[in-house]
Structures are given as C-alpha cells and as structure tokens.
Amino acid sequence: PPKEVGKDTLPFKDKYAKMMGGEEVSTTLPAKFDPAHYQVEMHGQRIIVTDRESRQAIELYRGTPDAAILERLIEERRRRERRNLILGLLGGGVALIVLVVLAAAIFSGGDKKRGTVRPRLNEKAYYEQLNRAVKAYDDGEDMSKVYAFIAKAEKLVGKRTYPTKHIQLKEIFRYRSELAGNPEEGLKWGQILDDVEKIKDEEFPDNVDAGRVKDFIKRVEEEARAEKLYWTRLEEARNNLGRYKPGEEENALRRLREIDAASMYYNEAQQMITKLAVDIANGLLRQIKEGMTLDNLKDVKEEDLEMRTVDVWIDIVDKMLKNTYFRNGEDKEALKDLKFMCETFRNTEQNKDEAVRLAREHLEKDEIVEAWNKVKYLENDTTDEARHLFVQGVKKDYERYLAELEARQKVQEAIDEVIKAYNTGKAEEALELIKKYKDEGLASDEWLTLQNKISRVIEVYKDAVAAEKINDVLLAKQKYENIIELEDSEANHYRQKAEAFLGEYDQTPPETYARKYIEKAKEMIRAGNYTGALDFADKADSLVNADPEEPKKPGNEIRIEINRLGNRMFMDAVHLHDGGGRGNVQKAIEILNEILDKHIYADDSEGNSTANACRSKREEWRRELRER
C-alpha cells in the first residue's frame, strides 16, 4: 500500500480516479502532484498522463495500483528537478554535454515504447513468481503468502506498466476469496471474467514456463462463467418466487436443477427448488378448485367432487406425489386420502366410467390392446366430453400400436429373408437384401451387425477355399475354425462347410496331407519359387513330426533338391570365375546373387555351406573387381 502523506494533500479527482481503475484507487495524492496539473488521455487499456508544465508524458494501464502511480509521478518530477539543477549550475554549453551524457545513459539498452526507454523484463523470473502464487493459492496457503509472490513479480516489472498479469491475478485471487466467504456477491463473477479477459489479451511468451498461470486462468474462466450463470438463475428464482405466470415455475425448476452439485449455489438452489415445488403444487390444485392450496387440501369433502373433474384430481395428485422435492409428510397423507376418495367416488358411478378406469389401469401398464377392448364400445358416445376425448385418445394409441406392430413385423420378415439367404450359402444375395431394405426405410438396429457378420464370414470362407485349392491344409483349417467362431448357427451353410472340412481333416492321416504339401513344394520349385517350396516343406514336417530334430522329415526331400540346385549353380559360378575375364567374374557374381536372393538353399544358418560360400565368394570376387 502507498505510504501515508501529511497535510499537503488534496482530493484525488473523481474522474481521474475512475480512469485509474475505479473505486478501489486511493483518493489522495501529495499537493504538488495535484491531478489538475496533469492531462489524461485514454487509449483503450493504456492511459497517457502528461505534465502540463513540462509536457513530459508517462504511460500507465487501467488497474495500475495507486502506489505505482505515485512512484511514477514522483520519479518523473525528481528527474526533471535534477535536470534543471544541472542546467542551472553548469550553464548552457556544459549543460548540453551533461544532457547528452544523461540521454545516452537513459536511452542506452532496453526496449522503447512511445518514446520511453525501459530495460528488458526478466520474463522467466516474472512468470516463475506468478506460477508460485497460483500454486500457493491452489494449495490453500495463507493469502499473505500468495500476495508475497505477486509482490515479487510486481517488483520485477518495476516502474514499467507492462506486463500487468500480476495485477489481474491479484484481483482474481481477491474476488474469489471474497466470493468464498460471501457467495451472494455474485456480480464479482463478472469482474473476475473481466480480469481473465485482460490476462488473455496479453500474449504469453513462448520461451518461459507460464503453464500453471495458463491452466489457472482457464479453470477460473470456466468456473466463473458457470457460477455467474448459476447465480443469475438463483437470483431470478428468488425475485420471481410467488409471482410466476402459469407454467413458468416448471421452467424455473428445470433451470435450477441444472445447477451443478459442485457449485457454491447448489444447496440454496435445492432449497429454492423445494419452495417452487410447493408453488407448483398449489397451482395444480387451483386448476380444480379456486382457492385450493396445500393448507386446506385435507378439508376437501366428497360433495366437492364431480365426474367431469375427478380424473383431473387423480392425475394432479399423482404428479404431486411423484415430485421428489415435495417432502411434507402430512401433505402427502392428505394427497393419498384425496386420491382414495376420488377413486371411491368414481367407482360408484355408471359402468362407462368403470370402463374408463380399467382402461387407464391398462394404459399405465402399457397394455394398449386391453385398454382399447375396455372402452371401444364408447367410441361414438359423446354424452361426456372428457370421457369421449379419453376414448378417442385410447383409440389413437391403439391405432399407433397396430401400425408399429405391422412395421416391426415387416422388419422381422425382412431379417428372416436375409438370414435364410445367408444360411443357404447365398451370402452375396443376403447383403444385397440388407441394402435394399435399408433403402426402403425398414429401420433396424440389427442390419449393421448382420451385415458385418455376413461380410466377415464370406471373406474368411473365400480364403479357406483358396487355401484348399493350393493344398495348404493348415491355412484352410485355421480359416474354417475362424468361421465357426464367427457363426454359431448349425443351420448355416458356411459353418456346415467348415465342420465338414474339419471332420475330414481329423479322420485323414497326417502323412496324406504332408505328401500333398511335398507335391505342391515340387511345383513351386519348377516355378522358381524356392522360398514358397521351403515353406510348404516346413508345413509338411509340422504335420508328421513333433520332434524338430527328427531326421526323417518329409520336407528333407525338398531341401535336398533345392540344395543340389544351389550347389550346382555355385559350381557354375566358380567355373565362370576361373575362366578369367572381368565379364565372367561379373556373371559369376550375378549367379551368386540369384542363389542368395531366391533362397536356393535349405537353411540360412551358419552351418549352411552353400549360403556361407556364396556370401564369402561374392565378397572375394567383388574385391577382386575393385582391385583390377
């Protein structure tokens, strides 16, 4: 806070005080700094204060603390007095030199803004103090400790008026603390939002850590917007309680119920909800009898009832009993007694009303057909307007029920048709039917699930058939097992195919399938696919040999044949090389590359002579070519 001043003080002018930040600014300044000596210009958030005598200008921002204002004004006056003193002592020429020296000292270094030189701000230290202030506030530290960090940040800013985030943060802390003690000061949520906007208007530097401040501002903004809305709704309910127009209470009740349980206004909102519920209940009662309230509810007599209103009585009592915010036990008992009296009165009336009563009971259980059967003979009876409207309503519900039933039946028939095509092996046709029925507007949640399953089963089935064609029995077995996992219906064509294959697989000696793999491997050798041939040789071994070291593997036949071919090609390469000539050496290397690239040897382990010999010779001959 600013230091105390003596008797040489004059009132701080109201207009200037408002410009400097509002009601929170001090109302006194030293006499020789009478605000009348200064001209004030407003430029958005910036304020330019000019000394009328010297025309010297200083720059401030809205919300600058009064201590900072005093310090700036005093410093400017002292600077001017020192300058005048030097000029007076040294005379014109020397004074000019001094002024030049002083100007150089003042204007050397720092950032320039509107003609005023300022040293650069240590942003890292500044935001570090702000981050610490936010952390202390979030941790529930004493506010003096929070403000101490803010004060350190403010000292780093010094006489400059930028940045001003410490000012807004301090205001936010203060407003939030005050609201925590007195939530009724709801207007301060708007003031918090104003300060949040000021901070957001200032850019955060990218090269320093301001994360905690950013997160805090985001949280405060979300909280302030929500709490401002909740407080406004609560104020509306308070001001309008007992004066709502018919139907407005329900809207107010709905808005109050939206107030979050974490809000500081939640408990009072619940109390207001209870009051509104009583208003609504009395309003409902007045629909039946003028002047009826919860207070005289238990005084209702049977002579107050009549057939044209008794159903309305019962409906309103039911609404009031279902209201969870209506908690008065005595009133609830009176409501239950009233309902019982209304039902007894109605049951003593003619059979038509009995039929209507029974229909209502069925409707409460969603038994539309039974309700219509009770009152359909009254379809053309107009002797009682209320009863006639009720019967017409039941008729509409019944017709709507029949239409929905017919629509559901059509959808079920369509689904049955799709499943029938799919189960008989016509999966593509089934998918076309799904598209057709969806385009026709037969909506069903089952279409997507059914479509995905059928598409997946078709895909796996095609893979299984393709594996069978190339005698890859192990891959086919895996695919057919996948089909059984996807489709659990034993009536399904694709599942039956899978079960038939797996049954035959279990009954066939593994040596039979192993021989088929060997034959397929030989075909691949003839086609030049040595890697594929070796893969089929491994599959043949896996069918008949549990022991990986078993020497009598059926795949050895393929490996020997491939090894022989590789050895023969290797010797061809050696003969070419030995024949001499650069061209022959190059061709020999190409043969070795072909052996290695096409895997024309059984195993690439370290013990494989063909592969290792090829690599060794290839490197030797390449080196030979480079040295020539």
Q: Specify whether the CB–CB gap between 565 and 600 falls below 8 A.
A: yes
Q: Specify whether the CB–CB gap between 418 and 446 falls below 8 A.
A: no
- Whole-number percent of the chain with pLDDT over 90: 18
- Distance CA(422)–CA(453), nearest Å, equals 10
The two tokens of residue 413 are: 């028939």
Tell me what pLDDT residue 161 has: 59
Tell me what pLDDT residue 605 has: 57
* Cα Rg, the chain, nearest whole Å: 47
Q: Look at 11-15, 168-172, 468-472, 507-511 and tell me which has the smallest mean pLDDT.
A: 11-15
Q: 142-171: per-residue pLDDT in tens? A: 999 999 999 998 888 865 556 888 889 999
531 contacts: CB under 8 Å, gap ≥ 6? 598, 599
Mean pLDDT for 468-484 is 86
The model's confidence at residue 8, banded by pLDDT at 50, 70 and 90, is very low
Is this prediction's pTM over 0.85? no
The two tokens of residue 345 are: 């009165």
Which among 561, 559, 560, 613 is positioned nearest to 591, based on CA atoms? 613
Q: Report how far apart, in Å, the C-alpha atoms of 365 and of each of 17, 302, 346, 358 are.
A: 71, 29, 20, 11
Residue that wins the pLDDT comparison between 89 and 493 = 493
- Distance CA(153)–CA(132), nearest Å, equals 10
Q: Specify whether the CB–CB gap between 279 and 244 falls below 8 A.
A: yes
Q: Look at 293-297, 387-391, 408-412 and tell me which has the smallest mean pLDDT.
A: 293-297
Collapsing DSSP to helix, strand or coil, 308 comes out as: helix
Q: Specify whether the CB–CB gap between 476 and 501 falls below 8 A.
A: yes
DSSP 333: H
Helices (H), 424-509: 427-439, 446-469, 473-486, 493-507
Strands 116-118, 111-113: pairing kind: antiparallel
623 contacts: CB under 8 Å, gap ≥ 6? none
Mean pLDDT for 597-623 is 81
372 contacts: CB under 8 Å, gap ≥ 6? 359, 394, 395, 397, 398
Q: 222-233: per-residue pLDDT in tens? A: 999 999 999 998
Q: Specify whether the CB–CB gap between 198 and 217 falls below 8 A.
A: no
Judged by phi (left if over 0) then psi (alpha if -120 to 50, else beta), residue 601 lies in beta
Q: Specify whether the CB–CB gap between 297 and 338 falls below 8 A.
A: yes
Tell me what pLDDT residue 63 has: 58
Tell me what pLDDT residue 180 has: 87
